[in-house]
Structure 1
Amino acid sequence: MSNHALTVPLNSIFDAFRVPLALFGGSGNYASALYLASVNANVLEKVEAEILDLVEASKKSPTFSQFTKDLSVPSETRVKAINEICSQAKFSDITKNFLVVLAENGRLRHVDTIAKRFAELSMAHKGEVKAIVTTVIPLPPQEEKELKETLQDIIGQGKKVKLEQKIDPSILGGLVVEFSQKVFDMSIKTRARQMERFLRDPVNFDSI
């Protein structure tokens, strides 16, 4: 090794390979490693799509889902199956190699959680902020557009709102918005509970 290599500041090396969010735990470590490899190879969006496709396919295939969770399956069998799946799906080398590592280490059963953490890193990389809106029925396009614009005004310039809709008939009506680690609960169900508590509280006539 030449002496010149030792003169490169270590902080410049780490700055080039920094994750946008600090994730903890096993799934966080795996997601961060995949993120760094994807960014370094300039294939972040492709890898994200491939990992999410695999997760969706797993949900639709009980056999494959059971396979990923069965630790009694020999490591060699898991690796061979993953290689075949990646070849058929024409996954990138980054995705294939990562899944092989999971298969070798018996971590395929955590791929769903890892994929979610990886998506968080990808969104942060692209300057996106996720907002989840829960309603009884899908929001009409115009209302969805207005809600997205309102949330965009809240976070300001420099970041982009990515809206995800969830359907939950149990809220009865209205909507619940989860946004920037805050929850705005404007559902009929919650309002009914608040009204119920109000009606149950004893009336203090001295204060009237």
Structure 2
Amino acid sequence: MAGRFRSTLPRLVNSLTSDSLSTHRSTVHRSLLCNNFTDPQQSRNFSSASPSKEPKIKVPLAMFGGSGNYASALFIAAAKAKALEKVESELLDLIAATEKSPTFSQFMKDLAVPADTRVKAVTEICDQAKFSEVTKNFLVLLADNGRLRHVDTIAKRFSDLTMAHRGEIKAVVTTVIPLPAEEEKELKDTLQEILGKGKKVNLEQKIDPSILGGLVVEFGQKVFDMSIKTRAKQMERFLRDPINFDA
């Protein structure tokens, strides 16, 4: 899928430099957006706009802020279309494409690009990549509203929702060097015991030499900081405290 992006990037550049772009937005795009997504301010009430005969889709996690509203609206649309995994995969492909192409990345962030240009380029890319209608309509919405620069954050929050839907919990462990396989498995098993049955731990490793040693585990809403850096700071505070000899 990512390869399709690379083949469409020249077309994107042509779109950005073209002087003959349409000066109006497609009415087809408008009708598709209205059928699948609400205005960002109304995205929390997205499910209430569904016909009464359709099952009500519940978002598995409470999301806040603009990116949370967009991610929630996308989750509901993808769930209704029974395309959660497909949409998640397509968003990951898009993010990978922005990381590999500075031109594409700049295009996503540049607010000076006219909305018509953004919509046209994104539509062509989605068609070439054969994205689902849900993903295509959503990206066109972001392009039209000048929100493409937030797609990375929205995609991450959407992944949080799909993981919660599957009963998965992401744990991020930060170390100075990669954990050996045995230690990684031991940590994952420990976290799995904490969660209990019915949940699955997805362990993600991050490397940060600034913690000096030890590890930091972010798990759900909790942070277990066992880094040497934090212990050194605690020791420094202890040494700086005045000594009470009477005690």
Segments of structure 1 that go 5 or more residues without pairing to the other structure are: 1-9
Shift in Å, 1:201: 2.0
Q: Distance in 1 between matches of 2:172 and 2:183?
A: 14
How far did residue 126 of structure 1 move?
A: 0.6
Moved more, 78-87 or 168-177: 78-87
Structure 1 CA distance, aligned partners of 2:54 and 2:193?
34
Q: Number of matched residues?
A: 198
- Structure 1 position 83, deviation (Å): 1.6
Q: 1:139 aligns with which of 179, 190, 194?
A: 179
Gaps of 5+ in 2: 1-49
2:118 to 54, 61, 78: 78
TM-score normalised by length of structure 1: 0.88
Which residue of the other structure, out of 199, 204, 210, is the alignment partner of 1:164?
Answer: 204
Q: 1:187 aligns with which of 205, 211, 227?
A: 227
Deviations, residues 61-98 of structure 1 (Å, cap 9, x unaligned): 22212212222222221111112211232222211111
**Aligned CA distance change for structure 1 residues 146 and 67 (closer, same or farther; 3 Å):** same
C-alpha displacement at 1:99, in angstroms? 0.7
- Tell me, yes or no, if structure 1 residue 92 matches structure 2 residue 171: no
Aligned to 1:204: 244
Alignment partner, residue 61 of structure 1: 101
* Alpha-carbon displacement from aligned partner over 1:156-193 (angstroms, at most 9, x marks no partner): 11111111110000111110001121111111111111
Query: Given residue 39 of structure 1, which amino acid in structure 2 is its aligned partner?
Result: A
1:113-153 deviations in Å (ceiling 9; x for gaps): 11111111111101111111000011111111110110111
Counterpart of 2:71 in structure 1 is 31
Distance in 2, Cα, partners of 1:154 & 1:66: 43
Deviation at 1:14, TM superposition (A): 7.6
Q: TM-score, normalised by structure 2?
A: 0.75
Displaced runs of 4 or more, over 6 A: none
Q: Distance in 2 between matches of 1:180 and 1:98?
A: 28
| Most deviating of 140-149 and 51-60 | 51-60
Whether 1:50 aligns to 2:90 is yes
